[in-house]
Amino acid sequence: MNALENKTVAIIGAGSVGASTAYAVMIRGSAMNVRLYDIDAARVEAEVLDLAHGSQFTGAGEVSGSNDLREVEGADVVVITAGAKQHPGQTRLDLAATNVDILRSLMPQLLERAPQAIFLLVTNPCDVLTTAAQQISGLPAQRVFSTGTVLDTARLRWLLAQQAKVSRQSVHAQIIGEHGDTEFPLWSSASIGATPLAEWEVGGEQIFTSERLNSVADEVRNAAYHVIRGKGATNYAIGLSAARIIEAVLHDEHAVLPVSTVLRGFRGIDGVALSVPSVVSRRGAEPVLTTSLSESEADLLQQSAAGLRHVQKSLGL
């Protein structure tokens, strides 16, 4: 029997990110059943029709959706993409108050309809919303997490691979911390194959100087802003990132991905959601407590936590 038979993903929000996530789930065959929910009945009906018309060319089975929350019932994974959109010049944290209010209304209704689900948040600011969702639901932290820096890590590996002239799959590097302006790469453990990043050579020259690494980190941090300026939103890459995380859950992969969960005792951090390498499986996401950090990286993680803690306090979280 197919391990994904009858596995259902419910996606909340049929905007560009929600629809792109549904499309990615379908073409990757991440789940057999895809359901979309949105308060805009005409929009969700149109998106479902468009997806369903091409479903015979994908690995998905049933595609459905409506403006009725019954779409969520019995889902194995609930993906939350609904919320106010990030505009040019606006940071992810600027969205916090509006989207936390939306979540306070939405989360109890979702939990009632899918009490056994894993909840994956995509809406920004995803770290703050992960903390809010975990508090509102009362679920164990492992069952409520966000895409975190999975996409940021993909951006980092893509940039490093281009400069190192190797495949993306050969680059082992991660972004952790806030999914936002205080995120940072784990340079201390980054490598290409088995070669430490700082020792990698192109044409006999070690190319990854501290200046170049700083430039790469800055480009990753600002990548979303660049895309938003050009087209108004980021949607394809985050949809693919969400689909990858969904697969890790439904396949019970125990894959290590830098998703964001509410940390409890990780490097002394409590009650704040941050991205750190985590084991993602059918149980949800569990931080890898033995993750190696340099002293400066540990300090940066504390700074990320302090910034988010300040925002959470202002929102009553």
Instruction: Give tens-digit pLDDT for 27-52.
Output: 999 999 999 999 999 999 999 999 99
- The whole-angstrom separation of Cα 201 and Cα 178 is 31
pLDDT of residue 84: 80
Q: Name the phi and psi angles at 266, rounded to 5.
A: -80, 110
Segment 199-224 mean pLDDT: 96
> What is the β-pairing status of strands 260-266 and 171-172?
unpaired
Helices 236-250 and 16-28 meet at what angle, rounded to 10? 50
Positions marked active-site? 179
pLDDT of residue 98: 87
Which has the higher per-residue pLDDT, 316 or 195?
Answer: 195
> In which element (H, E) is residue 8 found?
strand 8-12
> What is the β-pairing status of strands 144-146 and 171-172?
unpaired
- The whole-angstrom separation of Cα 70 and Cα 178 is 33
**Number of C-alpha atoms within 13 angstroms, CB side, residue 225?**
13
Which pLDDT band, with edges at 50, 70 and 90, does 1 fall under? very low
pLDDT surpassing 70 at residue 295? yes
Segment 199-227 mean pLDDT: 95
User: pTM for the full model?
Assistant: 0.95
pLDDT surpassing 70 at residue 155? yes
- pLDDT more than 90, % of the chain: 87
Q: What is the dihedral of CA 97, 99, 103, 104, to 10 degrees?
A: 20
